[in-house]
Amino acid sequence: MSTLIIRGGRVLDPAGGFDAVADVWIENGRIAAVGENLEREGAAVLDATGKIVAPGFIDLRARLREPGLEHAETIESGSRAAAAGGFTTICCLPNTTPYNDSATVTSFIVDRAVNRAAVRVLPIGGLTKDGAGEQLAEIGAMKEAGVAAVSDGDSSVMDAALMKRALRYAASFDLTVLEHCEDANLGGGDIHDGSKSMLLGLTGDPVSAETVILARDVILCREASARIHFAHLSSAAAVALVRQAKADGAAVTADAGAAYLDLTVEDVVPFDSNYKVRPPFRETSDREALIEALADGTLDAIVSDHAPHTGNVKMQELESCPPGITGLETAVSIAIERLLHSKRVSLPRFVELFTSGPARVLRRDDIGSLTIGGPGDITVLDLEREWTFDAETSLSKSKNSPFLGRVFRGGPAATVVGGRMVWRADSGLEA
Amino acid sequence: MTPTTLTPTIALGRPSRRNLLGIEELSRAAIEQLLERSRHYKTRRNQLDPKLSETLLGKTIVNLFFESSTRTRTSFEIAAKRLGAHTVSIQAQGSSLSKGESLVDTLNTLAAMQPDTIVMRHAASGAPHFLSRFLSTPIVNAGDGRHEHPTQALLDAMTILEQRGTLENLRIAIIGDIAHSRVARSNIHLLSKFGTDLVLCGPATMVPASLATLAPGITITHDMRRAVAAADVVMMLRVQLERQTTPIFPKNEYFQFYGLEVDHLRLAKPNALVMHPGPINRGRELSNEVADSRSSVILNQVENGLFVRMAVLERACAEDSQ
């Protein structure tokens, strides 16, 4: 098998406590050595001078739409977008058609990923059957088939007793429950509840839709002696609850979606579905609280929250449009601008939020680090590269993004999965 | 691999400058111009003026109503016919997606037949604004969800202007479910541009504090007597039971606290006007006595709607000067 040496970059491995200019040697798909002046005859060499060399980035939250909604995205197209976005591992939510609530669907995704995907794909199994919040899904069988976590995707289990049972049950299989916090009665709005929703006559989505469920789940997870991960938090109030729960010793983790570090309700273009996300973009103070929480350790990861939609569903009046925007190709660049260029988060902490942070959420020690003998997954970053996010060149099948046309400073320079270069900024996808 | 072929290729038209999507984005001068033209049409209503029916000769106006409406649709139709335009009225049932066609495609199909103006009503806020980004045909908003109903605000302004001679320095109370009312939003935007004192009144489920940020000059009260005190105009809103998915008030006690009765009018300025966008709901929003009193200008509003819509259609169908 091939040998790859990534030469002369600033190698950052938060899990191993390594931060120095060095070479990374990958042999037979695995990390063989990290050190100075590594030489190996016949090795392919990637010059990373002036760049950051990190363990492969992990995304805890993407929707790949396959099976069932292949016009919007497939495992193949989504994984290519992930490669272009600097991710070497992506977790895909169960809200496909059919819903991933069985070993059959899980196996299909695993097989398809092996044959078609450009990066590693870890399926997330449904917490309840069909995501309906009524009966537990076959969590044990899905674990055997390869799910990395369980979640009801984009809805909360409204029945608190069932949620407590689900937390307990998932814990027996050592699976983290990933929770989208939204009270079904309070939530469901088109934009953040406030003066703008009032002005536009749109249904507002209040912070309480998020915090009511989050607070409930902290209580339930402590009582169930289980653990829970809160996904794509949107508000300062939610962050404060997580901070308190962690201080109290609850087994909780949480993440923020990259777009939420950039956009607020002020940026929302009226009636443009590319700004409709759930939870919604909130106020500047909420965005600042998310950034602060990423810096101080309250939040553990940054996610792409990739939600491709295409065709008729987005060509509707706003209230009929499903929420969600694409994110795999823009997440890292948004985070570079909002966290690094703004000097809000240190570089080692930044890398942690995309590597060992999400790996810990999944309780995986085989990804997210540069452990010798571990998988040769590497994300190379160029913090100064200027590039434009463009519908023509985007690798996702869907183009629903408020960032189309945006010029970013900084982004991935190369993506290496199992020692194989899958994407390079200067030449695109590798065949 | 060409994934982009699966994305609908919608030609982005240039949004027409002759759209009338809402009052919020109109300047005071543009509003005054429309009111002036409305008055012009009203003064000619009894004259046999052949030129009138040639104003929009050869123009085609499509009335596209995704939500049922009798008075607004009829008013637009008569206005168009008086100006000599052809009209086609379409009552669309439900969401177009239920037929497998997106809203944009439905409108594109109509636009391909090259009407001069599309008048549309839709139950979703922002539906015409969203469509205007894809169409170059001028769109006149005949009411979008809870957002705006610009011709209603114009006809209300015309009615106040006729009765009071000015829109400035008035105290106007708007009473009812303002949070869910497109009539209220358009009126608030319009009247605020003329420096009116606006008092919004209803229970907090209908009149939340965030309404105060809508425009300058707004005060909020939940007390009916305070709202009507010294008012020049009392605008009552329809209680829209059909627009509420979950009840925001106990309907049997609404009239007791927020219905307009003759006693209230004694607190208002002498000869205060009572307005209502219709259809009125006697015993729910206002008493019989108030509805039939001399203060009520509800029928004047309906009449003026015709002239306002003539002015609006004239503007929408005008040839671009550049």
Rounded to an integer, the average pLDDT of A186-201 is: 96
CB contact (8 A) between residue B182 and residue A315: no
Give the mean pLDDT of A342-371.
97
3-class SS of residue B190: helix
Percent of chain A with pLDDT over 70: 99
- Top pLDDT among A404 and B318 is at A404
| pLDDT value of position B8 | 36
Q: For testing the chain B interface, which of A66, A207, A274, A315 should be mutated: the one with the most B CBs within 10 Å? A: A315
Respond yes or no: is residue B72 known to be catalytic. yes
DSSP state of B106: H
Best B109, B210, B211 residue to mutate vs chain A (most A CBs within 10 Å): B210
The DSSP code for B13 is P
How high is the pLDDT of residue B15?
A: 63
pLDDT above 90: percentage of residues in chain A: 95
CB-based contact A401:A63 (threshold 8 Å): no
Find chain A residues with C-beta within 8 A of B3's C-beta: 77, 396-397
Q: Is B317 on the interface with A (CB under 8 A)?
A: no
Surface-to-core class of residue A368, CB atoms within 10 Å of its CB (0-12 exposed, 13-18 middle, 19+ buried): buried
The per-residue pLDDT for A31 is 97
Q: Quote ipTM for the complex.
A: 0.90
Q: Are A307 and A72 in contact, with CB atoms under 8 Å apart?
A: no
What is d(CA A158, CA A92) in angstroms, rounded to the nearest whole number?
22
Q: How many CA atoms lie within 13 A of B104 on its CB side?
A: 24
How far is B56 from chain A, CA to nearest CA, in Å?
30
| pTM attached to this predicted model | 0.93
For B43-75, what is each residue's pLDDT tens digit?
A: 988 776 777 888 999 999 999 999 888 899 999
Residues of A with CB under 8 A from a CB of B: 71, 77, 194-195, 197-202, 270-273, 310-313, 315-320, 391-392, 396-399
Query: Choosing from B17, B28, B40, B71, which is the catalytic residue?
Result: B71
- Nearest residue in chain A measured CA to CA from B214: A199
Low-confidence ranges of chain B (pLDDT < 70): 1-15, 48, 93-100, 241-245, 320-322
Q: Which residue of A has its CA nearest to B6?
A: A71
Q: Catalytic annotation on B59? A: no
Token pair listed for B34? 């429309």
Q: Distance (Å, rounded) from C-alpha A196 to C-alpha A10?
A: 45
Q: Which of A154, A205, A305, A382 is catalytic?
A: A305
Three-class DSSP category at B168: coil
Name the residue in chain A with its Cα closest to that of B185: A199
- Select from A271, A319, A429 the residue whose CB has the most chain B CBs within 10 Å, as the one to mutate to test that interface: A271
In degrees to the nearest 10, what's the CA dihedral of A260, A265, A267, A271?
110
Rounded to 10°, the helix A236-247/A284-296 angle is 30
User: Is B212 in contact with B178 (CB distance < 8 Å)?
Assistant: no
**pLDDT value for A428:** 87
Q: What is the mean pLDDT of residues A254-267?
A: 98
Nearest to A283 by CA among A355, A234, A321, A242: A234
Distance from C-alpha of A109 to C-alpha of A64, rounded to nearest angstrom: 10
Helices (H), A206-346: 207-223, 236-247, 284-296, 331-335
Other CB atoms within 10 Å distance of the CB of residue B244: 15
Query: Smallest Cβ distance to B127: which of A199, A272, A317?
Result: A317
DSSP-based three-state secondary structure for A242: helix
Helix axes B28-43, B150-164, angle to 10 degrees: 70
Q: In this predicted model, what pLDDT tens digit does every residue of A281-333 receive, in sequence order?
A: 999 999 999 999 999 999 999 999 999 998 778 888 899 999 999 999 999 99
Residue A241 DSSP label: H
Tokens representing A23 are 């070479």
Asked if B245 reaches chain A (Cβ–Cβ under 8 Å), the answer is: no
Catalytic residue among B42, B147, B149, B189: B149
* pLDDT value, residue B247: 77
Output the CA–CA distances (angstroms, integers) from residue B242 to B67, B123, B180, B246, B259, in the order listed.
Answer: 12, 11, 11, 10, 19
Residues 23-82 of B with CB under 8 A from A: 24
| CA A389 to each of CA A331, A399, A404, B37, B287: distance values in angstroms, whole numbers, following the listed order | 11, 10, 5, 48, 60
- Residue of B172, B159, B182, B198 whose CA lies nearest to B296: B159
Active-site annotation holder among B18, B73, B121, B185: B121
Contact across the interface for B214 and A271, Cβ inside 8 Å = no
- Alpha carbon dihedral B209, B213, B216, B220, in 10-degree steps, equals -10
Contacts of B145 in chain A (CB under 8 A): 201, 319
Give the C-alpha distances (Å, rounded to integers) separating B270 from A28, A62, A249, B265. Answer: 92, 64, 68, 8
Residue B245 designated active-site: no
